[in-house]
Amino acid sequence: AQKVTQAQTEISVVEKEDVTLDCVYETRDTTYYLFWYKQPPSGELVFLIRRNSFDEQNEISGRYSWNFQKSTSSFNFTITASQVVDSAVYFCALSDKGGGGTSYGKLTFGQGTILTVHP
């Protein structure tokens, strides 16, 4: 069975601070996909980043960066120079892209981390 753990329940920072959200996962699949989603108060989950298990290159996209380490089963997410609009609940998720690789229809989510960015 797949499992995702986000140990940080809540994080509070002041604007312009960097913040890292931790995620640890468990899976028996050799090919899998990791995601970070953001959930603002409106409720909709907004996709942020995706990483494939077979690609351990870490990247930066604007103020977002991620550190994927297969050896420790971790997929951490960093927001640089945080802003008040970054305040939301952040979810790490895992998918094996089942069904013949045609969709990402079954996601296993972590419990979420509430990020509050103060002005």
Interface with another protein (CB under 8 A): 35, 37, 42-47, 50, 91, 95, 98-99, 101-112
Question: Least distance to another protein from the beta carbon of 104, Å?
Answer: 5
Read out DSSP for 22-86?
A: --EEE-S-SS-EEEEEEE-TT---EEEEEEETT-----EETTEEEEEEGGGTEEEEEESS--GGG
Q: Is 27 helix (H, G, I), strand (E, B) or coil?
A: coil
Question: Least distance to another protein from the beta carbon of 18, Å?
Answer: 25
Please say which residue, 82 or 95, places its beta carbon nearer to another protein.
95
Question: Least distance to another protein from the beta carbon of 119, Å?
Answer: 27
In which residue are the tokens 């980043």 written?
49
Please say which residue, 35 or 68, places its beta carbon nearer to another protein.
35
Which of 46-84 are b and which e, b meaning 16 or more Cβ less than 10 Å from the residue's Cβ? eebbebebeeeeeeeeeeebbbbeeeebbbbbbbeebee
Question: Least distance to another protein from the beta carbon of 103, Å?
Answer: 3
Please say which residue, 11 or 89, places its beta carbon nearer to another protein.
89
Please say which residue, 82 or 110, places its beta carbon nearer to another protein.
110
